[in-house]
Structure 1
Amino acid sequence: MIANIYGLKYVVLMAILLSISLSCSGPTGAGLSDTITKDVLTPTPTPINPQAVLDQSGTAMASLESFHFDLQHSTGGTPLAANLLLISAEGYVEKPDRLAVEFTGSVGRFAMRGSLITIGDRTFMTNPLNDEWQVLQDQVSPLAYFDPAKGISSMMSQVTAPTLLAIHSKEVHIGGRL
């Protein structure tokens, strides 16, 4: 009789262990942790639309009174006059009529760099040969190419074929043709 009690306890113990074992596995016999990891979804980032970024940025920048800019050409440059090519420009603009720029460019086959400041209807530029400031004539004003009163938003609306170049932290870099 004692042997039957031990045998019965053994059978009950095995039945309990078997039911616990089966309740912790999935339909294919996989363990509980395997089932959870199969159901985890990987988020997919929303693609950035370069034209939408330009539009939103242009709208936001229309209300600015001043801003910093950095214009770089990967190849070529912006023709400003006969044989005068702007390769890069970096500076500040303040509405309605102030502009400060450091630039690089070329005149014919000669490379040049310089600085330019416009305040109202007066423009000053460093002489590329000796770096001395000189007053420019009115007909050479950079405001003929960029109007601070309209701001950068008018230029952003003219960009064609915008492409996403890079994303760094909170900055989105977009390239295109102007």
Structure 2
Amino acid sequence: MRRPLALLALVCAVLGVGVLASACRGGSDASKADAADVLRRGAERMDKVKAFHFDLSHENGTSQIVRGLQMVSATGDVVPPDRLRLDAKAKAGPLNIAVGIVAVPGHSYITNPVTGRWEEEDISVSQFFDPAVGVTALMRGTTEAKVTATEKVEGRDTHRIEALVDSGKMTLFAANAAPGRALKVRAWVGIDDPVLVRVEIDGAVGEGEPANLLRRLTLSKFDEAIQIDAPQTGASR
């Protein structure tokens, strides 16, 4: 019995040392990564992305979009530079509604909250939510950035970066973003492929927003074949 027990103890000791060494290497790798370089490479990579999918959520608030609607959450696709499709859960006063928005070159469309039918609308993506441009602007606009961890997000190994960004640079979420407030940002950038996988922003971007508002944007399906066409006006969503 002694020999098996001794062997078991040796295996446990080796595994323990291995886990400890691995943990140490993980921390070392995170500390060695230069946050500014990670963000720079990430912005350059996102400039070249041909398409991506997104999921946007809020805690403690909403983002104003068109027709006075307050967006609670949204999911959709982007084909840079000027094609977007999203399905949003929104609020119109006390009412919870679902709304679809499509933007293609020269035209934008929205579903009527009452009828659910598509209508052409004179809006620009940059007026309310512009991930194609806003993501890279955010990555290039941060200060005091530091890599705090390596984490797996959406199946990708990522660098977790914590930084500050001026609220005026948050055109990703609001064209009328008011400058002057330092917002906390957490960004997860891929290690093998430096795409922006997720970003979280704490704080108010526009006037009247709650100070504890949290926006979370998760991106996926990078460079996949995504087609966004204009819907037929009058047709149901």
- Write the distance in 1 (CA, Å) between the matches of 2:7 and 2:107: 77
8 Å CA contact 1:92, 1:101 repeated in 2 = yes
After TM superposition, the structure 1 = structure 2 runs for residues 104-123 of structure 1, keeping only pairs within 5 Å, are 104-123=89-108
Q: Is 2:147 aligned against 1:170?
A: no
Ranked by relative contact order (alpha carbons within 8 Å, sequence separation 6 or more), the top structure is 2
User: Alignment partner of 1:73: what SS?
Assistant: strand
Gaps of 5+ in 2: 1-5, 158-187, 189-197, 206-237
After TM superposition, the structure 1 = structure 2 runs for residues 25-174 of structure 1, keeping only pairs within 5 Å, are 37=13, 40=17, 42-43=20-21, 44=23, 45-46=26-27, 52=35, 56-80=41-65, 83-136=68-121, 138=122, 140-147=123-130, 150=133, 152-157=135-140, 167-168=152-153, 169-170=155-156, 172=188, 173-174=198-199
User: Alignment partner of 2:133: what SS?
Assistant: coil
- Residues 87 and 33 (structure 1 numbering): CA distance in 2 closer, same or farther, change over 3 Å? closer
8 Å CA contact 2:65, 2:129 repeated in 1 = no
User: How big is the shift at 1:72?
Assistant: 0.7
User: Alignment partner of 1:128: what SS?
Assistant: coil
Match for 2:96: what amino acid?
A
Match for 1:170: what amino acid?
R
8 Å CA contact 2:78, 2:132 repeated in 1 = no
User: Alignment partner of 1:62: what SS?
Assistant: helix
- Write the distance in 2 (CA, Å) between the matches of 1:160 and 1:116: 33
| Pair member with larger Rg | 1
User: Alignment partner of 1:104: what SS?
Assistant: strand
Deviations 1:14-53 (A, max 9, x none): xxxxxxxxxxxxxxxxx8997893893522132858x946
- Write the distance in 2 (CA, Å) between the matches of 1:112 and 1:157: 35
Q: Which has the higher helix share?
A: 1
8 Å CA contact 1:62, 1:152 repeated in 2 = no
Match for 1:93: what amino acid?
V
Q: Percent identity?
A: 26
TM-score, structure 1 normalization: 0.60
User: Alignment partner of 1:150: what SS?
Assistant: helix
Gaps of 5+ in 1: 1-30
* Number of aligned residues: 144
